[in-house]
Amino acid sequence: MRILIFGLGAIGGIFAGFLKRAGHEVYAIGRKRIISTVREKGLKIIGIWGEHRVNLNGVYESVEELPLKDFDLVILSVKSYDTQEALKHLKGLNFKYLLLAQNGYGNYEKAKEVFPPNKLILARVIFGARITPEVEFEVTVCGDDVVIGNPDGAIEEQTLKEIAQIIDSAGVPTRYSPDVYKYLWDKILYNCALNPLGALLETNYGTLANMEETKTLMEQITEEIFKVAKAKKIELFWENPDDYKKFFFEKLIPPTAGHYPSMLWDIKSGKRTEIDALNGAIVRLGKEVGVSTPVNEVITKLVKAKEKLRLKA
């Protein structure tokens, strides 16, 4: 396959490296600091999925620099706040499918405003990665397979299974599910409860779950999300918040107890967070249907305040 990675960040770099290693024709667009190193030294992957080094077919700073415009698959892996701008650039390309490998709510919805749903593949990505100071792409953790699908049922199931198999056989564990939207919301629930509190208090998930104050806040965040989902007719895997909370504290927290949220590293690095695609999105969706989300609203404002303080520091 001829593949373009739009967003050669931590996640995009992992997809790029493994797909190239599997013999695909892989191009990438990224930021200058990253692509200059990848051009000079190749793309190096380290971490729990082994050590690999590959040379991509081409790395560029913009769509305009690409030597060709036709791709079988484009993987969009930019931050959620860059999605709108990225979609504008992708309009100039000719591709069969656009796979959205991003965090939070709203990326698929924005993409549908630009491209027909039969070109769009939604992915729930739950492996963790980072770029080291030496510009090596490190896989740090993997909670489950990447799950892909089309929420509108606009792409043949067999086609989606074949694409999942291509990515999976390249070395990134991937499977197809018709319930991909539920999987995405499962991750949104998890991230909304943990990421902002971990970032604000600069602590790990286990500590948040063990403190009465933060445990209560996480429960309230979750309850508000369930109310919004019900009002918006968004289907979740869980019938009610109590069932989810039991699963969350008993099954999800223990294996990730020592984990710190990427949102914390974003703030410490002076970068913008994705709070608007997480708790901020819950607030916006709640306002659309008249559901009050006071805890998510306060959490969103606190994260934005901390962002600003860090940027001024």
Domain at 80, CATH number: 3.40.50.720
Tell me the C-alpha to C-alpha distance, in Å, between residue 258 and each of 116, 155, 197, 214, 250.
Answer: 41, 39, 14, 16, 15
Q: What does the pLDDT read at residue 313? A: 61
Q: Are residues 233 and 293 in the same domain?
A: yes
Q: Are residues 192 and 173 in the same domain?
A: no
Q: Are residues 11 and 134 in the same domain?
A: yes
Tell me the C-alpha to C-alpha distance, in Å, between residue 311 and each of 34, 43, 63, 196, 273.
Answer: 22, 30, 29, 17, 12
Mean pLDDT of all residues in 69-94: 97
Q: Are residues 164 and 222 in the same domain?
A: no
Active site residue 187: yes
Structural domains in the chain (count):
2
Domain boundary among 114, 146, 178: 178
Query: Does residue 8 register a pLDDT over 70?
Result: yes
The CB-side HSE value for 132 (13 A sphere, CA atoms) comes to 11
Which among 44, 187, 245, 306 is annotated as catalytic? 187
Mean pLDDT of all residues in 19-28: 99
Q: What does the pLDDT read at residue 80? A: 97
Q: What does the pLDDT read at residue 114? A: 98
**pLDDT band per the 50, 70, 90 thresholds, residue 58:** very high
Contacts within 8 Å (CB) and 24+ apart, 282-286: 282/105, 282/192, 282/224, 282/225, 282/228, 285/105, 285/228, 285/232, 286/224, 286/227, 286/228, 286/231
29, two tokens = 């667009």
Q: What does the pLDDT read at residue 275? A: 98
Mean pLDDT of all residues in 240-266: 93
Q: Are residues 299 and 268 in the same domain?
A: yes
Q: What does the pLDDT read at residue 133? A: 94
Q: Are 245 and 238 in contact (CB under 8 A)?
A: no
- Note the helical H segments in 5-52: 10-21, 32-41
Q: What does the pLDDT read at residue 103? A: 94
Q: Are residues 145 and 254 in the same domain?
A: no
Q: Are residues 23 and 54 in the same domain?
A: yes
Q: Are residues 59 and 139 in the same domain?
A: yes
Domain at 284, CATH number: 1.10.1040.10
- Residue 237 has φ and ψ, to the nearest 5°, of -70, -20
**pTM for the whole thing?**
0.95
**pLDDT band per the 50, 70, 90 thresholds, residue 268:** very high
Q: What does the pLDDT read at residue 310? A: 85
By residue range, what is the domain housing residue 213? 182-312
Tell me the C-alpha to C-alpha distance, in Å, between residue 175 and each of 72, 148, 165, 167.
Answer: 19, 6, 7, 9
Q: Where are the beta strands (DSSP E) in 164-237?
A: 174-176
Mean pLDDT of all residues in 229-234: 98
Q: Are residues 216 and 166 in the same domain?
A: no
Query: Does residue 311 register a pLDDT over 80?
Result: no
Q: Are residues 137 and 174 in the same domain?
A: yes
**pLDDT band per the 50, 70, 90 thresholds, residue 291:** very high
- Residue 95 has φ and ψ, to the nearest 5°, of -135, 155
Q: What does the pLDDT read at residue 228? A: 99
**pLDDT band per the 50, 70, 90 thresholds, residue 141:** confident
Domain boundary among 133, 152, 178: 178
Is the C-alpha dihedral spanning 43, 50, 177, 189 positive or negative?
negative
Q: Are residues 172 and 188 in the same domain?
A: no
Q: Give pLDDT tens digits for 156-210.
A: 999 999 999 999 999 999 999 999 999 999 999 999 999 999 999 999 999 999 9
Q: Are residues 22 and 145 in the same domain?
A: yes
Query: Does residue 142 register a pLDDT over 90?
Result: no
Give the SS3 label for residue 105.
coil
Query: Does residue 312 register a pLDDT over 80?
Result: no
**pLDDT band per the 50, 70, 90 thresholds, residue 276:** very high
Domain boundary among 133, 148, 178: 178
